[in-house]
A and B are shown apart, each in its own frame.
Chain A
């Protein structure tokens, strides 16, 4: 029995395309692993109870709150963080550009959740209604914008994606 207990856990994580083989302590949240061990500080700590969404990442194509995800349970997983949305040459994704052009954020602290949830929404539903957008972003708190510009940014990103070209918003 004792041989089934591990003091540290080996995980193989492909994060933003790069493979990391990591020996990690059992207690570590994915948030702390990303921020403290991998210097991926774009994923933010906001509440540590899973309510605010600032710590959002995507695990195997599905968004998750990294503060309430125990890293050791991940085994092998593909993870995308907010840093993974930008191309290697620094070009922003259409969604990031739409958020920037439309003032879809102010302080930027909630951006991980807003962006990654929208990515997943648009993958499964390319033409979402306002209600769909609200449902997809329900796990994220923003304290700056009053959400108006976030809805506008998501819609601008949809237009961009449809037209296949960057769309400047008014």
Chain B
């Protein structure tokens, strides 16, 4: 804790690695500031050093090469929403980024990296990224490591500490025939979700060929219920199936959140409703 913090502006990943390696736990990586600053303002967080990663070009930009899409961690939500690459290849992600609360101001400053590493249960990006099977590159101990986002979340359920830097998110384009949806239940027009679900489905005529659903904002981290739905592959889509998915999604929420957004029973039920609505909308899009 320091009243008079220092400031570091690494110009590249090498310098970032060097600084991160040399500092104790009192350092704080800052990008858009949307997650860090409220705690700073209320004195709950008093970093000794701010590491401003805004100068590092490797963290910026969206690119597509040989069917691989890279999103620098310092890419703001607004750019994720509006990028042609994302809109054309990952419409689910573009849509989910537009559902982030806090208004235009937060869309303009908040970064995809910040949204991921905070691992806030109510945030909007993780369910879609998990549904899309995203990988991430992490700079840690001076080296970049690539891992599945799902694996990172198993390790780091309380957020990525300041000894690691999320460099970029890697994604494969959705197939053009994939149906997708992101459903978010929220209390007010500007606000946080109380339950959400991202779904991607592919159909062969009316038969399901692949199906992924991630449910968020109902437990500490998003829950991937895709495995529980594997039996539906090859089955024809029906209203009955939607009902079953609703029940399975609810049942998958073992430890529901209970907070200002709503109590656990409701959250568990809403996990089902959102999953059902997401898959229904995704099927409609695919069909």
Interface stretch of the complex, out of B2-10, B119-127, B163-171: B2-10
Whether the pair B4, A48 counts as a contact (CB closer than 8 A) is: no
In the complex, the answer to whether A5 meets B7 with C-beta atoms within 8 Å is yes
On whether the beta carbons of B33 and A70 are closer than 8 Å, the reply is yes
Interface centre among A1, A4, A140 (most CB of B within 10 A): A4
A115 interface contact, C-beta 8 A: no
Chain A residues with CB below 8 A from B49, complex form: 5
In the complex, A146 Cα to B5 Cα: how many Å?
A: 42
Q: How far is the CA of A100 from the CA of B189 in the complex (A)?
A: 25
When distances are taken between beta carbons in the complex, the residues of chain B under 8 Å from A69 are 33, 37, 109
Q: Which residue of A lies closest to B98 (CB)?
A: A135
Decide: B50 and A56 in contact? CB cutoff 8 A. Answer: no
Q: Are A27 and B5 within 8 A (Cβ)?
A: yes
B40 at the interface (CB under 8 A from A): yes
State the Cβ distance, A63 to closest chain B Cβ, in Å.
5
Contact between chains at B108 and A64 (CB < 8 Å): yes
What are the interface flags for A112-128 relative to B under an 8 Å C-beta threshold, 1 for contact and 0 otherwise? 01000100110000000
A136 and B105 CA atoms in complex are apart in Å by 9
Q: Tell me the smallest distance from the CB of A113 to a CB of chain B, in Å.
A: 7
Known: A6-B7, A73-B30, A73-B52. A27 touches B40 (CB 8 A): yes
Would you give the shortest CB distance from B91 to chain A, in whole angstroms?
A: 18
CB contacts (< 8 Å) of B42 on chain A: these are: 48-49
B34 near A50: Cβ-Cβ < 8 Å: yes
**Judging by beta carbons under 8 Å apart, are A50 and B37 in contact?**
yes
In the complex, whether B15 has a CB less than 8 A from a CB of chain A is yes
A51 to B108, CA, bound (A): 14
Q: Does A22 count as interface, using CB distance less than 8 angstroms? A: no
Q: What chain A residues lie within 8 Å of B22 (beta carbons)?
A: 1
Count contacts on B: residues with CB < 8 A to the other chain: 38
The answer for the CA separation of A120 and B4 in the assembled complex, in Å, is: 36
User: Are B37 and A29 in contact, CB atoms less than 8 angstroms apart?
Assistant: yes
* CB-defined contacts of B37 to chain A, threshold 8 Å: 29, 50, 67-70
Nearest B-chain residue to A61, judged by Cβ: B108
Nearest-Cβ distance from residue B164 to partner chain A, whole angstroms: 18
**A49 contacts across to B, CB distance below 8 A:** 38, 41-42
Given the interface contacts A29-B41, A73-B30, does A63 sit within 8 Å of B6 by beta carbon?
Answer: no
Q: How far is the CA of A43 from the CA of B30 in the complex (A)?
A: 23
Residue on A nearest B31 in the bound complex, by CB: A73
How far apart are the CA atoms of A24 and B276 in the complex, in Å?
A: 52
Q: Are B18 and A1 in contact (CB under 8 A)?
A: yes
The 7 closest A-B pairs by CB, nearest first: A139-B103, A68-B37, A26-B7, A62-B108, A48-B41, A49-B38, A138-B190
Residues of B within 8 A of A (CB): 3-10, 15, 18-19, 22, 30-31, 33-34, 36-38, 40-42, 49-50, 52, 54-55, 78, 101-106, 108-109, 189-190
16 contacting pairs across A/B (C-beta < 8 A): A4-B9, A6-B9, A8-B7, A9-B7, A48-B41, A48-B42, A49-B38, A59-B108, A67-B37, A73-B50, A73-B52, A117-B104, A121-B104, A138-B190, A139-B103, A139-B190
Known: A4-B19, A64-B105, A73-B50. 4 other contacts (CB 8 A): A26-B4, A29-B41, A63-B105, A72-B50
